[in-house]
Structure 1
Amino acid sequence: MDIETVYRNVPSFTKFYLATFIINTCLISFELVDFTNLELDFEKAILGLQFWRFFTCFAFYNEFSILFVVIIVLTHVCLSTIEHYFRRRMQDFIFMIVFVWGSHILLGFLLDTHQDMMAEFVCSFMYIYCRREREDRVEIFRIAIKARFFPWVWVVLWKISGYQIIKILAGYTIGHLYDYLKFIMPETLGYSLLETPSFLNWLVSKMEKRQPQQANEVDLVDHGDAGPVIG
């Protein structure tokens, strides 16, 4: 399969996010853009009306490295899988993106330590993916690992690489919160605190020119025994 075919098969949001992430990182690495103009600074974002910071802080990495390449692959695998997972409920997918984004913004405000949130943002989706596709096998450095264990393997690899695992754990926390409110709570307690707003259902149905489906018709993608490969 050639690169053009692979590119065409990448879902829309994943494709847009990866392109933005790679372009921003290239601009920073070639010193065409100062990363401090993209990171989250609440004073500048609110008082200085630099609203783009609420979005760009999720879409750049400070430098080219092996980890940068791994994050690209990880983002593609996890985010595209989640996007396919919600392929018949795009309104739920959009709401998930908004929920994860807003939760990280709030967490960044409370902790005041998360100026760039690419890692935790991606890890939120990775965690959701691994919770929903537990029996998938992720092959990393020629070693196959079940998806249910992969988040903790990633913590170890991140720590060995010399990075702070607090960012990873922050991503897992938001991912677990979404998974619990969206999937586990309705199954165990019989009610949900995380319903997609009706206006979003209406908007997506208008865009797709069809009536929204029932909320429980979220489709799971069958990957079989062969899982994604990282590294």
Structure 2
Amino acid sequence: MAFQQEYFAIPPITRAYTTTCLLTTLAVQLDFVTAYQLYFNPELIFKKFQLWRLITCFCFYGGIGFNFFFNLLFTYRYCRHLEEGSFRGRSADFLFMFLFGGILMIVMALFVNIVFLGSALTIMLVYIWSRRNPYVRMNFFGLLNFQAPFLPWVLFAFSLLLGNSVIFDLMGIIVGHIYYFLEDIFPRQAGGFRVLKTPQFLCWLLDEGSHRAHENEAHPDVVGGNAGLGAGGFHWQ
């Protein structure tokens, strides 16, 4: 009962996405489906109309192991921070951010050899959260102290040190910055205007058509303090 209460206390979009990622990985692990049925393949999508791949390519982080738990934990944490913070009461805008980022990544994936995009989406979430929380102090292994906007680059450097491909980090950072610039920076510049407008049908479905008073404002989650995260050998504080 306590678990059920905690689970349904998670904001709906965060709950839906992280649950989908977990169930997709378990389905592959238990051989209900194979990764070959899920990965991004333009030919199968646009010629065979296997449209589900446009979604499943964002929901599989690989087999259960360190990479899976690392990505799932970061996705859950920063997705929830955003949904409960700068997107509080704006579920339609939050979903539109996912759609915008996902579409850009799919376009980019047409030109690079990437078949699963979930890791890049995670970095995008981290990037947007970090730019909207510039004063949060973080700590890496008790050795490196930095402010939140450097977090995506710390993760980039860590991937580089581990010998992992950094294309996912770069893609997430690029897409995250494009969204941040169009949503938070450009509208505030002289002559600027809001480029990204959430479709009205999403507002009707998710926000009950309510008027969002802060539609044209930037929405920082917090203005200071510390953020903590323990994940394996990591300790973010």
TM range (shorter): 0.7 to 0.9
Query: Which residue pairs with 1:213 in the alignment?
Result: 213
Output the CA distance in 1 between the equivalents of 2:230 and 2:108. Answer: 28
Counterpart of 1:152 in structure 2 is 153
Moved more, 217-226 or 46-55: 217-226
Alignment of 1:44-193 (within 5 A): 44-84=44-84, 85-109=86-110, 111-141=111-141, 145-192=146-193
> Scaled by the length of structure 1, what TM-score is found?
0.87
- 1:38-91 deviation per Cα after TM superposition (whole angstroms, max 9, x unaligned): 001011111111100001000001112222212111111111111121113333
Bigger shift: residues 58-67 or 22-31: 22-31
CA RMSD across the alignment: 2.4
Which digits, 9 at most, give the CA deviation of each residue in 1:188-228, with x for residues without a partner?
243135231452475258x5253343422554333751313
- String of CA shifts for 1:5-31, please: whole Å, max 9, x gaps: 542332111111111111111222333
Provide the rounded CA distance (Å) in 2 between the counterparts of 1:74 and 1:129: 11
Give 1:51's aligned amino acid. Answer: L
Output one character per residue of 1:163-188: Cα deviation in whole Å (capped at 9) or x when no partner: 10011101100000111111111222
Aligned positions of 1:27-38 closer than 5 A: 27-38=27-38
Q: 1:116 is matched by which residue type in structure 2?
A: F
Alpha-carbon distance change, 201 to 225 in structure 1, aligned in 2, over 3 angstroms: same
Query: What is the match of residue 235 of structure 2?
Result: none
Scaled by the length of structure 2, the TM-score of the pair is 0.85
Structure 1 unaligned regions, length at least 5: none
Deviation at 1:134, TM superposition (A): 1.6
Which sections of structure 2, spanning at least 5 residues, go unmatched? Answer: 232-237
- Residue 18 of structure 2 is aligned to residue 18 of structure 1: yes
SS in structure 1 at match of 2:183: helix
1:7 equivalent in structure 2: 7
Q: Which amino acid counterpart does residue 72 of structure 2 have in structure 1?
A: I
* Letter paired with 1:222: V
User: Aligned partner of 1:37: which letter?
Assistant: Q
* Bigger helix fraction: 1
Alignment: residue pair count? 228
Pick which of 141-150 and 92-101 moved more: 141-150
Whole-Å separation in 2 of the counterparts to 1:145 and 1:6: 31
Work out the CA distance in 2 between the residues paired with 1:189 and 1:213.
22
How far apart in 2 are the matches of 1:201 and 1:18?
20
Identity fraction in percent: 24
Q: Secondary structure at the match of 1:208?
A: coil
Q: CA deviation at 1:145?
A: 4.1
- What CA distance in whole angstroms lies between the structure 2 residues aligned with 1:202 and 1:151? 30
Tell me the SS of whatever aligns to 1:49.
coil
Do the aligned partners of residues 202 and 146 (structure 1) sit closer, same or farther apart at CA in structure 2, a change above 3 Å counting? closer
Task: Out of 88-97 and 38-47, give the one that drifted further.
Answer: 88-97
Measured in 2, the distance between the counterparts of 1:179 and 1:45 equals 29
Q: 1:212 to 1:159 in 2, by over 3 A?
A: same
